[in-house]
A and B are shown apart, each in its own frame.
Chain A
Amino acid sequence: MSTQEREEGRQIRCLIAKVGLDGHDRGAHVISRAFRDAGFEVIYSGLHRAPDEIVQAAVQEDVDVLGISILSGAHNTLVPKIVEGLKEYDAFEDTLILVGGIVPDDDRDEMLEMGVGAVFGPGTPMEETIEFVRENVHDRE
């Protein structure tokens, strides 16, 4: 991307979020760094965030992508709260939500039904995730 394009063009903004009690954020760091190197602007939330905080950050930062990293198994309680919060601020429609971490297959379908764009399990190649973002990031006027 040339400087000119970067000046005037679209820049993909992502929020990488750690929600809930799980205190392991190595994966979130790795993905933040990979996204940065892919040319995205990454905002990292820090550990132990409540769904409200993530919603607040996603709305204010007007991110294209919200990546939620959960390893604790609490996705069934936390993700719906975030989705609801985004809807409340009319931000759900044009935010691509990704869930990364340990999610059982049954729950995976539920997540997708809820409006999550994709669920990435352990071992997903970084390029796959980046490519998915590039292809699925929502168009905005």
Chain B
Amino acid sequence: MTATGTESALVDDLLDGKHRALARVITKIENRSPGYRDIVSALHTHTGTADVIGITGSPGAGKSTLVDKLAKTYRDRGETVGVIAVDPSSPYTGGAVLGDRIRMASNVGDMDVFFRSMSARGTLGGLSTATSDTVKALDAFGKDKVIIETVGAGQNEVDIVKTADTVCVLVQPGSGDDVQMLKAGILEIGDVFVVNKADMDGAERTVAELEEMIHMRENPAAGLNTGHHGPVDDEEMEQVALDDPDEEVWDPRVIETIATDATGVEELIDTLADHAAWLRETGQIDDRARTRYTEEIRQLIRADTARLLEEVIEARGGIDAFVEDVLAKETDPYSVADELVGPVRECVDGELER
């Protein structure tokens, strides 16, 4: 696919390092504006150089402050940084207050830290697509590091961090109960755990608890399938099972930081670098990219076919008429589905026979 007209100009400007073009491309991605697919397609060949770091954790754990200091430290080392901060939006109005920018004080006036707030816009699958496309835009723009920051509260956030090469989970001291809760979800996705606010009471205990849990998850007797491949569907499970004997295992690390005064940030950056190096040495970086692209292609195809079927429904007079018929017991949901998907299936069968 090639971009044309304004899209092509926008892509050229972005690749030339124009901030305005980058900002505009991200808006188009977020809005799913006409032509955004062509833009993302055109950017694809220019991606692959940035280290993508996902940062998640409960609200108030200090994610934004830590991201600010990470960005500052990377800049001091001469590297450029892109940050995507995801905040929730109202399910009722779609409105949102995106408040993380406030804490980016260390990077004020430095355009080489490109910080972009993103709202969930009330969607689940769509947000991860928009986020990964935005990562591509920042990557193609030439950012050395791309940081995705999101509140870790559920599956949605897990999806987003799956677009990262390295996932960093922030934990507050004394959040023993929270940590228990995290066990089931977010804990499984972390490559690096950060106990922020390490000067608070209970930090040591939290570190010990995390280390114990990491130890447990490495114990094969636990029978857990850990790592980045979340059990998405049967096929993927099988794939993971096949990969497992040869799969290199990364020992998650636990780091203590005090983000407000940047204590431990250097160490965290070194650990992130270790993980990035490990990904490259073991070839995991490609495995992860493969998993990501598999997910991405599937998701796009699901969305596209869903949209096609919506059109079929519209062409047949909208869903309401079908609902009425089902309600009147003249037909049933399965029959309706057969009726609507039937023509598509015939078309597909015809295509496959060729």
* Chain A residues engaging chain B, CB cutoff 8 angstroms: 1, 3, 6-11, 13, 32-33, 35-46, 50, 52-53, 56-57, 59-62, 89-91, 141
Contacts and interface: CB of A to CB of B under 8 A. Distances in A.
Contact of A37 (B30, B31, B93, B99): B93
Interface stretch (B16-24, B240-248, B323-331): B16-24
A50 B109 contact: yes
23 contacts: A1-B94, A6-B94, A7-B126, A8-B31, A9-B31, A10-B31, A11-B31, A11-B119, A37-B90, A37-B93, A39-B93, A39-B94, A40-B95, A41-B95, A42-B97, A43-B97, A43-B98, A44-B99, A50-B108, A50-B109, A60-B114, A61-B116, A62-B24
Contacts of B109: 50, 52-53, 56
A56 B95 CA distance: 23
A42 B95 contact: yes
A137 to B, nearest CB: 13
A3 B123 CA distance: 8
Contacts of A38: 93, 95
Contacts of B97: 32-33, 36, 42-44
B31 A36 contact: no
A41 B116 contact: no
B313 to A, nearest CB: 13
Nearest to A6: B94
**Looking at chain B's contact residues, is the secondary structure mostly helix, strand, loop, or mixed?**
mixed
Contact of B20 (A36, A42, A90): A90
A8 B129 CA distance: 13
Nearest to A35: B95
Nearest to B100: A43
B61 interface: no
Range for the number of chain B residues in contact with chain A = 20 to 34
Nearest to A3: B122
Contacts of B114: 60
Nearest to A1: B94
Nearest to B310: A4
Given A7-B32, A7-B123, A39 B95 contact: yes
Contact of A36 (B30, B96, B117): B96
Contacts of B23: 59-62
Interface of B: 6, 19-20, 23-24, 26-27, 30-32, 89-90, 93-99, 101-102, 108-109, 111, 114-117, 119, 121-123, 126
B20 A11 contact: no
Contact of A61 (B32, B94, B117): B117
A62 B114 CA distance: 12
A41 B98 contact: yes
A85 B149 CA distance: 28
A53 B108 CA distance: 6
Nearest to B114: A60
A75 to B, nearest CB: 21
Contacts of B24: 62
- Which of A44, A61, A90: most chain B CB closer than 10 A? A61
B269 to A, nearest CB: 23
A44 B6 CA distance: 31
